[in-house]
Amino acid sequence: MNTKRHIAQSILLSGLLFSALPLSATAADGELFGGSINGNVTFASDYVFRGESETMDGDVPVVQGTLGWGNDAGWYTGVFASNIKFADPNLEIVTAPYIGKAGEFGDSGISYDVMVFSYLYPGASYSNYTELWIKVGKQFGRANLQLEVTPTVDDWFGVDGWQGVNYAVHQSYTFDNGLKVSGSLGYQDLDGEGAEGWGHWNLGVSKAYAGINFDVRYHGSTVDSDHKVYGTQTKIFDDRIVAGISKSF
């Protein structure tokens, strides 16, 4: 698929996601099934997931969209979509339905977020897999700290017998002027014949202006030419800076 058609498909997919927003707004008091609809659209120079470029080393920019629903009890569900690009030409778009529950442990100030997130690849269903995201966090004034443990529910990326668990620490600090500094440090564990995990990290700044969020972020990983899985594809794990803008609805 050529680049123009690739991007056009993702834009169309994002448009279909957000076309439901005006219909949802017709519900009484702005509610739908006791909750509210929300959405987000992002344009970025790359899509980096745990240190890996999902667009063949930033070969194409990305358009991403999320359409979700949530209620005051903390239950939420929705779907995420993005264009991608891999060596496998059938991997062009990822769609990811999700469902979860967020809240707080009593009056402790410690938050939790548990979510089932399925990665679905139209035209490449052999790569589909699902993860269980588990996060706990704590706010310390303007600083926030979150701990994440995310195991796979089935075979990682559809590879028979491969199981993964991502461990990560996420930190952020928001200044008085709204500037936010945030970063993550993690390790993607991967078990199975011929499998090997890797470390990954990111650090960036973001700022909202006129209802649009601007984000610039540095990504890195420990993958090198000796890596069992990605030793011949280290370029997609090169350190990189990613710039993006997003709008929430």
Q: What is the pLDDT of residues 33-79, one digit of tens each?
A: 899 999 999 999 999 999 999 999 999 999 999 999 999 999 999 99
* pLDDT for 21 beyond 80: no
Confidence of residue 28 (pLDDT cuts 50, 70, 90): very low
Share of the chain above pLDDT 70, in %: 88
Task: Identify the residue whose tokens are 């448009």.
Answer: 15
Our count of domains for the chain comes to 1
Q: What is the pLDDT of residue 37?
A: 96
Q: What are 124-176's pLDDT values in tens digits?
A: 999 999 999 999 999 999 999 999 999 999 999 999 999 999 999 999 999 99
Indicate whether this model's pTM tops 0.85.
yes
Is the separation of the CB atoms in 83 and 61 below 8 Å? Answer: no
C-alpha to C-alpha distance for 13 and 86, rounded to whole angstroms: 19
Task: State the CATH number of the domain containing residue 30.
Answer: 2.40.160.40
Q: How far apart are CA 193 and CA 38, in angstroms?
A: 41
* Domain limits for position 199: 3-248
